[in-house]
């Protein structure tokens, strides 16, 4: 049996149900490549009372056969930061398990998508979710990002913009860099999609005790230093209740 178990934002988010399952698992793995969140692996082992082996991204992609072979005969758990199915790699794992006739179960946990709702926007108005990459990974500006923002705006959908991270170097794309990229896209493609007066929300250190929500125009947000990690929501037209809620965070 294969279990995909979310850890949320720290070890205190482990559910009682997940803990019950983990205590009976023969093998437990943890991956942290999608987040810079600092989990105390020692505490996790202490809570579960078993060894937990850290795996790399390649172990869950090219090397997933080893873990799936174990799951044929043993109870195997893969722990992830946030929610297991926010990362498409884990959807692929479910698909591979199904192809091999391996039973699997997913235990969900808080993720950045849940935390974004703290800003008061409607979940029914969230469109395509995008990641703005670090300059070192892709040349900027990227037409695909520009086109998706345009697509969402035309349909009155909010665009969640995740900011890229590099786990090896510890580098995170800053909010200012991301907004400058967006304006460069407009300067290059010129389809009147992105304007300095457009309204956005920035959520800094989401779902932590230091969470900060900022609401205002791109122009004003460019002047503010925002703690990382952070997420940007490029807003569509706001309903009256969305605007009233967001007004509490206006800069």
pLDDT of residue 4: 96
Give the global pTM: 0.86
Strands 159-163 and 104-107: unpaired
Question: What does 132-174 look like in DSSP terms, one character per residue?
Answer: EPPTTTS-SS-HHHHHHHHHHHHTT-BEEEEEPEETTTTEE--
Reported as type and span, the H/E element at residue 29 is strand 27-31
Among 142, 150, 148, 144, CA closest to 128: 148
Separation of alpha carbons 91 and 81, rounded Å: 15
Give the chain's domains with CATH numbers.
Answer: 2-110 (3.40.1010.10), 113-249 (3.30.950.10)
**With 80 as the cut, is the pLDDT of residue 136 above it?**
no
Grade residue 76 by pLDDT with cuts at 50, 70 and 90.
very high
Average model confidence (pLDDT) across the chain: 90
State how far the Cα of 235 lies from the Cα of 85, in Å rounded to an integer: 25
Amino acid 34: pLDDT: 59
């Amino acid at each position: 049996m294969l279990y995909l178990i979310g850890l949320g934002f720290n070890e205190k988010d482990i559910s009682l149900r997940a803990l019950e399952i983990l205590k009976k698992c023969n093998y437990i793995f943890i991956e942290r490549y999608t987040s810079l969140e600092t989990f105390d692996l020692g505490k996790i082992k202490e809570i579960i009372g078993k060894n937990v082996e850290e795996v790399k991204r390649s172990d869950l992609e090219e090397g997933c056969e080893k873990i799936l072979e174990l799951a044929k005969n043993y109870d195997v758990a893969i722990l992830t930061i946030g929610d297991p199915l926010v990362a498409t790699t884990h959807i692929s794992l479910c698909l591979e398990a199904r192809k091999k006739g391996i039973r699997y179960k997913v235990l969900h946990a808080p993720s950045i998508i849940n935390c974004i709702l703290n800003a008061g926007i409607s979940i029914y108005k969230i469109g395509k979710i995008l990641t703005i990459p670090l300059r070192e990974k892709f040349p900027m500006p990227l037409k695909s990002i520009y086109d998706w923002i345009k697509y969402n705006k035309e349909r009155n959908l909010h665009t969640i913009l995740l900011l890229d991270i590099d786990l090896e170097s510890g580098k995170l794309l800053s909010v200012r860099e991301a907004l400058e990229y967006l304006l460069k896209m407009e300067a290059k493609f010129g389809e009147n999609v992105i304007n300095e007066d457009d309204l956005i929300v920035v959520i800094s250190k989401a779902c932590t005790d230091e969470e900060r929500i900022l609401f205002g125009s791109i122009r004003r947000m460019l002047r503010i230093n925002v703690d990382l990690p952070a997420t940007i929501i490029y807003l569509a037209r706001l309903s009256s209740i969305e605007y009233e809620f967001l007004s509490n965070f206006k800069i």
